[in-house]
Structure 1
Amino acid sequence: MAEKTASFLDDDDFTHVVKGIRYPPDVTKDNLEAMANFGLRDDDIVIVAFPKAGTNWVLEIVNKILSACGRTDVSSDDMVGKLEFSYPHEPRPRHVMLQTCASPRVILTHLTPHTAPPGISQPKDNVKVIVVMRNPKDTVVSDFHFEQKLRARFERKPLPSWDEFFQLFLAGKHTFGCYFDHVLGWWQRRDDPHFLFLKYEDMKKDLPNAVRSVATFLKVKLDDASIEAIAHACTFSNMKAALDKSRYDDRTFNARKETTATFMDDDDFTHVVKGIRYPPYVTKDNLEAMANFRLRADDIVIVAFPKAGTNWMLEIVNKILSACGRTDASSDDMVGKLEFSYPHEPRPRHVMLQTCASPRVILTHLTPHTAPPGISQPKDNVKVLVVMRNPKDTAVSYFHFEQKRRAYFERKPIPSWDEFFQLFLAGKHTFGCYFDHVLGWWQRRDDPHFLFLKYEDMKKDLPNAVRSVATFLKVKLDDASIEAIAHACTFSNMKAALDKSRYDDRTFNARKGLVGDWKTIFTDEQSKSLDLKCKTKLEGAGLILDFE
């Protein structure tokens, strides 16, 4: 392989070497030598990335942010482009053209700190440098396909094979040198406030958050609607459509395909309906039936995001109803979650509920937009209890539950906690976005048909939670009955009951039931990411979640 690599590079007619680093033909020795004298302006914005790591994507985001605040009226295509390049059809190198550009200039570069202008590697004043990083595996694949297109377009010698290109990349012998030298060289500046570091993968998982981070870094204030609009315009499909129309050949080659797919893309244990992922037992037919599901005047509904306390609240409600003589059924005998159906049962749950005796206790994980209208907009004496749990403990509990369930049904496991966390953060796991769910129901907090309870408050004072539920259901209980129900519904007692359930999915439910268990698995970075998401999503909502 070493001999093949050497011979291919030795007579390659589409690259050249300057001071030990290989470059494409449009990055000349004169251009590289001119970098030492390139002057930065006080309001320059610089985008740094190794080739195929997200340069054009961040350019689109920056351009749209500057357009939104009135600081530019040009398109990304009209911005001069990569600092170190020059093209035969243009009269001057890009670094010369940039000298006459209006401010604020957006400067792109693939150079390292050692080869970039000093004003970029050691910025001063208000210069802003955005560094985009992408994992090397996806970077090398994207670079290989881009290089093949580029060589074909200019009728140059193609790369012999993927295997050879990979060896060149691994050895740092391809254009722009060693990936790791590039990334680490810039990463050393991470504590300098002139720099913002973004990961391509994080942008894929939560593009609005990335847009918000860039806007904040550039000191541009944008409302949530503007953030969402920019993020939508900069999704891969929309950006690719824009790049495909570029008047510059090299830009039209840039967007190939989305390469940060997760295991969910070919998951055999979930499916998507109208943009939301669901477990197999929540079918499209069941979801469509929700619009016509009828509520009775004395129905009791328990709403919660998965692993936020559904079964715990069911136990409390069942025991309150038993205590006042309104039911003689156990919680195990109650039909369960409205939107579910199971292969071993003759009918879907929503059909089975139609023949249940009153008062029915109906469970659901659906949002106000997907739940029956009689739940999202209840009438008469319908009572809706909404249980909320902090997202960190919810995510951890959900991860362990999901792994148990997949193992039991011999399905593909989730690869890791890290991958699950990213799915949860992006709202891409089953039942969608935690925050959309919680905030959707929280908007009903002033409606007397609703009672909102926090899992953490129930843990701190269970008798008080039982008393609140009984009062809401208009059931009078003395203190001894309240205490007895609370004792029966402690985690250890409830877990013992659930472990004996005849329903497999209920036996998986109770694990630890702790508040703060998230600390055993969350990294500092994950905790900060979710804290930021909470701040962004919940700001101004009047909802405070407890994590301790």
Structure 2
Amino acid sequence: MAQDDLPPRQKPVVDGIALPPGSDQTVGDLKNFEVREDDAWIVTYPKAGTTWTQEIMSCVMHDGNLEEVNKRHTVFRVPFLELGMPEPALKMKNMPPIHKIVAEMPSPRVIKSHLPGQLLPPQMWTKKPKIVYVMRNPKDLVVSFFYFKRMMNRSPQKQAETFGDFFELALEGKTMYGPWWEHYLYFWRKRHEPNILLLWFEDMKRDLRGIVEQISQFLGKSLSAETLDAITEHCTFANMKKNPMANPDTVFENPGGQDTGDRTSFMRKGKVGDWRSHFTVAQNEAMDALMKEKLHGTGLNFDF
């Protein structure tokens, strides 16, 4: 059977949260996943700046040794904990799921997850590893997520989906990983805990050098100004996009198999304010109303 003819895998739903195909068993196993105190976790809602931040964290945990960093691709240096196995791997004998591979990794580990807080391993809240959580303004988040979904799903139905269709799903909280506001608020309410660093995508765009230094200090690394400068240069969006060891495009085949107007890519634009090129007036008003309803009294605000 040709790759494009493979039947679509069903998305599991766990505790009302839609998850990637093949990840439901993983989430069940994570209840007993052994978290280590010296772990460093990058947790985000999809398309909030995950790949960008994980590369910074990996560089910092390698003490700025970029030669060593570039020996292995970011998807292996920072494994995606709940990732379902790709179709070819499902047919391989004795191929363990990602979380079991992570369990055997030497310390210190850098681990990535999009899971909402309530589905993360329970030991996250007793062992208290370092957690970097990144938020992005939800308007840009929805636009980026739309293009990502088109890239990841080759079906004619998904390719025919308009931004308006996806926007309505996002407005109802029916996108993968659940409502963005619930995901955000779980960690927003924990923002004062010493093992959690809450960052903003927009601040990364404004002052990447400052964010690199902030992450370094949070992870307990005392790096020289020269090393911080080198990590910053390595982790600019433009440099990461062209770096075969930092861009997931060089590992994963483009599932969409076509151009969607913006060349399908894990790292598409990385812009602040791209929503203005996609939202109608009515959509903007609807999102503003949703944010007012869901975030009222929380103190959480966004930079658009």
- Is the aligned partner of 1:428 residue 2:174? yes
2:186 to 419, 440, 447: 440
Deviations 1:4-63, CA, capped at 9 Å, x for gaps: xxxxxxxxxxxxxxxxxxxxxxxxxxxxxxxxxxxxxxxxxxxxxxxxxxxxxxxxxxxx
Distance 1:276 1:542 in 2: 25
Q: Is the 8 A contact 2:130 2:219 kept in 1?
A: yes
Mark the CA change 1:501 to 1:457 in structure 2 (over 3 Å): closer, same or farther: same
Q: Is the 8 A contact 1:300 1:384 kept in 2?
A: yes
Q: Is the 8 A contact 1:326 1:359 kept in 2?
A: no
Distance 1:501 1:458 in 2: 24
Q: After the TM superposition, which residues 269-348 of structure 1 pair with which residues of structure 2 at under 5 Å, given as runs?
A: 270-282=11-23, 284-323=24-63, 328-329=68-69, 330=72, 331-343=74-86, 344-345=88-89, 346-348=95-97
Amino acid at match of 1:339: E
What displacement does 1:269 show? Answer: 5.2
Task: State the match for 2:131 in structure 1.
Answer: 384
Q: After the TM superposition, which residues 329-408 of structure 1 pair with which residues of structure 2 at under 5 Å, given as runs?
A: 329=69, 330=72, 331-343=74-86, 344-345=88-89, 346-375=95-124, 377-379=125-127, 382-407=129-154
- Is the aligned partner of 1:521 residue 2:289? no
Mark the CA change 1:504 to 1:318 in structure 2 (over 3 Å): closer, same or farther: farther
Q: Is the 8 A contact 1:405 1:508 kept in 2?
A: no
- Is the aligned partner of 1:530 residue 2:287? yes
What displacement does 1:326 show? Answer: 11
What displacement does 1:322 show? Answer: 2.1
Any stretches of 5+ residues in structure 1 without a counterpart?
Answer: 1-266
Amino acid at match of 1:536: E
Q: Structure 2-normalised TM-score? A: 0.84
Which fold has the larger relative contact order, with Cα–Cα distance below 8 Å and residues 6 or more apart in sequence?
2
Q: Is the 8 A contact 2:43 2:133 kept in 1?
A: yes
Amino acid at match of 2:76: D
What displacement does 1:268 show? Answer: 5.6
Q: Is the 8 A contact 1:302 1:386 kept in 2?
A: yes
- Is the aligned partner of 1:544 residue 2:293? no
Deviations 1:249-286, CA, capped at 9 Å, x for gaps: xxxxxxxxxxxxxxxxxx8653323322122142x211
Q: Is the 8 A contact 1:303 1:387 kept in 2?
A: yes
Mark the CA change 1:298 to 1:392 in structure 2 (over 3 Å): closer, same or farther: same
Distance 1:374 1:410 in 2: 41
Q: Structure 1-normalised TM-score? A: 0.48
Q: Is the 8 A contact 2:58 2:78 kept in 1?
A: no
What displacement does 1:501 show? Answer: 2.8
Mark the CA change 1:471 to 1:414 in structure 2 (over 3 Å): closer, same or farther: farther
Distance 1:491 1:355 in 2: 31
Q: Is the 8 A contact 1:309 1:455 kept in 2?
A: yes
Deviations 1:84-107, CA, capped at 9 Å, x for gaps: xxxxxxxxxxxxxxxxxxxxxxxx
SS of the residue corresponding to residue 447 of structure 1 reads coil
Q: Is the 8 A contact 1:302 1:384 kept in 2?
A: yes
Q: Is the 8 A contact 1:332 1:501 kept in 2?
A: no
Q: Is the 8 A contact 2:64 2:231 kept in 1?
A: no
RMSD of aligned residue pairs (Cα, Å): 2.3
Equivalent residue pairs, number: 277
Task: State the match for 1:461 in structure 2.
Answer: 207
Mark the CA change 1:353 to 1:499 in structure 2 (over 3 Å): closer, same or farther: closer
Task: State the match for 1:244 in structure 2.
Answer: none
What displacement does 1:325 show? Answer: 6.0
Mark the CA change 1:479 to 1:430 in structure 2 (over 3 Å): closer, same or farther: same
Mark the CA change 1:351 to 1:431 in structure 2 (over 3 Å): closer, same or farther: same
Mark the CA change 1:505 to 1:437 in structure 2 (over 3 Å): closer, same or farther: farther
Task: State the match for 2:220 in structure 1.
Answer: 474
Mark the CA change 1:493 to 1:532 in structure 2 (over 3 Å): closer, same or farther: same
Distance 1:415 1:324 in 2: 42
SS of the residue corresponding to residue 159 of structure 2 reads coil
Amino acid at match of 2:152: R
Distance 1:385 1:424 in 2: 24
Q: What fraction of aligned residue pairs are identical, expressed as a percent? A: 37
Q: Is the 8 A contact 1:306 1:398 kept in 2?
A: yes
What displacement does 1:368 show? Answer: 1.3
Deviations 1:141-183, CA, capped at 9 Å, x for gaps: xxxxxxxxxxxxxxxxxxxxxxxxxxxxxxxxxxxxxxxxxxx
What displacement does 1:541 show? Answer: 1.3
Deviations 1:173-223, CA, capped at 9 Å, x for gaps: xxxxxxxxxxxxxxxxxxxxxxxxxxxxxxxxxxxxxxxxxxxxxxxxxxx
Any stretches of 5+ residues in structure 2 without a counterpart?
Answer: 1-7, 90-94, 256-263
Distance 1:505 1:447 in 2: 39
What displacement does 1:332 show? Answer: 3.4
SS of the residue corresponding to residue 363 of structure 1 reads strand
Q: Is the 8 A contact 2:80 2:98 kept in 1?
A: yes
What displacement does 1:378 show? Answer: 4.6
Q: Is the 8 A contact 2:83 2:98 kept in 1?
A: yes
What displacement does 1:399 show? Answer: 0.3
Task: State the match for 2:258 in structure 1.
Answer: none
Amino acid at match of 2:81: L
Distance 2:201 2:98 in 1: 26
